[in-house]
Amino acid sequence: KEAADSSDSKLDMKKTMRVEEDKIDNFIKFVGDLIVASEVFNYIQKKLEITNQFPQIAKEFKNANLTFNELSNSLQKSLMDIRKVPVSQILKKIPRMIRDLSGGLNKKVRVEMYGEDTEIDKSLIEVLEAPIVHMIRNSLDHGVETPEARIEKGKPEEGTVTLRSYVANEFFNIEISDDG
């Protein structure tokens, strides 16, 4: 039974491959060129339809053009998906950072994270890390109170910092809040 479970877990693992970003960026450029060619084909198709000199050729070209457009759009979407990575690449560092910082500030803080599996473009990961760290530090420095101050205010002695990441209307959102 264990051997069967072991082979099942191997089937569940996703295969990955490292590819240099420059190669992906170059590929994206070629897909962009395909999209431009698609617009040229759309223009030619409209011209054929307007002149109505070759209706059969116009119909065949339209069908071929529709297929080309669908394939180009699918390729573009697939390529953009290749560049996506889970936001957990940034967020996985946060609990330890909060634990270390809160200890130095004599504060008790619990971390709640939601949406770690949200995927964003890899280039955003590098850009977002510093602002997220800054906002977490602000929450710990200025938001969450010491255990004594929290108890005086009728709050539990342990504060909470919550991180939520999600995509809404094609925009990536990250919310950082504390109960201080």
Residue-level pLDDT at 110? 94
pLDDT tens track, the chain, 180 positions: 555 555 555 555 677 777 788 888 888 888 888 888 888 888 888 888 888 888 888 888 888 888 988 988 888 888 888 888 889 988 898 999 999 999 999 999 999 999 999 998 888 888 998 999 999 999 999 999 999 999 999 999 999 999 999 999 989 999 999 998
| CA 45 – CA 64 distance, rounded (Å) | 10
pTM above 0.85, yes or no: no
Residue-level pLDDT at 134? 94
CB distance 102 to 110 below 8 Å: no
